[in-house]
Amino acid sequence: MSGDSPLQKPEWLRVRSGASEEFAQTAAIVKKYGITTICEDALCPNIGECWRRKVVTFMIMGNLCTRNCGFCGIKNGVPAPIDPEEPTNVASAIKELGLKYAVITSAARDDLPDAGASCYTNVIYKTRELSPETKIEILTPDFWSERKNIKIVTDAKPDVYGHNIEVIRRLYQAVKKPPSDYDMSIECLRLIKEIDPNIITKSGMMVGVGEEFDEVMETFEDLRKANVDIITVGQYISPSASHYPVIRYITPEEFEKYREEGFKMGFKEIKSGPLIRSSYGAGESYSTLCGIAQNQDT
């Protein structure tokens, strides 16, 4: 743990205020459709920048998680039943925001028979109906690494399928907590590519929780063995005093080293920096990997 007093945030973690007319417009659209966003529920430090550009990461299936990870700002509890209007509401918001690239995620829904896999497909299909030009990235739970659940989602052909490894193996039980499991997450990523080799896969992790450089490299190697295409690496910021503490703030130079080493290992695209989060710059990463122009960054 980090000791008796919290670490002081370094200069490079300061972010601008989100107050702007564009931010207010984005917030109004989110409210209009009753949308839950990971931007708000996970206390993302980039919300000001992203919402000024009308970029939102959608959180489906409610705002309560059936797991209780030590790092996450999303509340644990018994989730409400699935809203049958959610696919239409999310797709309508995507259309009104004019998103060329949309990221859709969720908390874990272990209470559902397919762990929520069909909810992802419903949103994907409705988005393609209402906003056919929008590229879709999903960031899912592990679905217990059950092939049938993962196949439900791959059959919907998202443009990018992401699942975050989050932390190194040694710290998984302390930071991520059971029933989440390091090997189960790696297997989830491996299965995505096995089922559909053409889907771009993505994973993210946070640093500053007590890992060593070599352990990060070992995680990179495991992700490469699972044929992951894109990785993100960002600084862990504890949501509250009751969450897992920040052990160390990683310097921008160290993040650049992670990026350099990751490319050497063969990843096709890497986002690595103090404020990098899974969906930050997602559209840009997709465009870079595919070699296309993308007007709407996320």
Q: List, for residues 134-193, the tens digit of each pLDDT value.
A: 999 999 999 999 999 999 999 999 999 999 999 999 999 999 989 999 999 999 999 999
- pLDDT for 17: 63
pLDDT at 291: 83
Residue 1 has pLDDT above 90, yes or no: no
In this prediction, residues 230-243 reach a mean pLDDT of: 93
pLDDT in tens, 184-225: 999 999 999 999 999 999 999 999 999 999 999 999 999 999
Residue type, 248: R
Identify the pLDDT of residue 3: 44
Q: Is the pLDDT of residue 36 over 70?
A: yes
Instruction: Find out whether 207 and 250 touch, Cβ atoms under 8 Å.
Output: yes
pLDDT of 73-129, one tens digit each?
899 999 999 999 999 999 999 999 999 999 999 999 999 999 999 999 999 999 999
Contact 141, 192 (CB under 8 A): no
* Residue 282: burial class (beta carbons within 10 Å; 0-12, 13-18, 19+): buried
CATH 3.20.20.70 assigned to domain 20-290? The reply is: yes
Q: Contact at 8 Å (CB) between 127 and 134?
A: yes
Q: Is pLDDT of 245 > 50?
A: yes
The order of strands in the sheet holding 230-235 is 57-60, 101-106, 135-139, 160-162, 200-207, 230-235, 269-273
Judge whether residue 4 has pLDDT over 50.
Answer: no
Give the per-residue SS3 of the chain. Answer: CCCCCCCCCCHHHCCCCCCCHHHHHHHHHHHHCCCCEHHHHCCCCCHHHHHHCCCCEEEECCCEECCCCCCCCCEECCCCCCCCCHHHHHHHHHHHHCCCEEEEEECCCCCCCCCCHHHHHHHHHHHHHHCCCCEEEEECCCHHHCHHHHHHHHCCCCCEEECCCECCHHHHHHHHCCCCCHHHHHHHHHHHHHHCCCCEEEEEEEECCCCCHHHHHHHHHHHHHCCCCEEEEEECCCCCCCCCCCCCCCCHHHHHHHHHHHHHHCCCEEEEECCCCCCCCHHHHHHHHHCCCCCCCC
Give residue 14's pLDDT.
78
Report the candidate in 203, 263, 266, 204 with the shortest Cα–Cα distance to residue 233: 204
| Average pLDDT over all residues of the chain | 92
Q: Measure CA 119 to chain center.
A: 17
Residue 18: its pLDDT value, please? 66
Q: Does the global pTM surpass 0.75? A: yes
Residue range 38-42: mean pLDDT, rounded: 79
Domain ranges of the chain: 20-290
pLDDT of residue 293: 54
% of the chain at pLDDT higher than 90: 75
Answer yes or no: is pLDDT of 294 > 80. Answer: no
Mean pLDDT of 259-282: 94
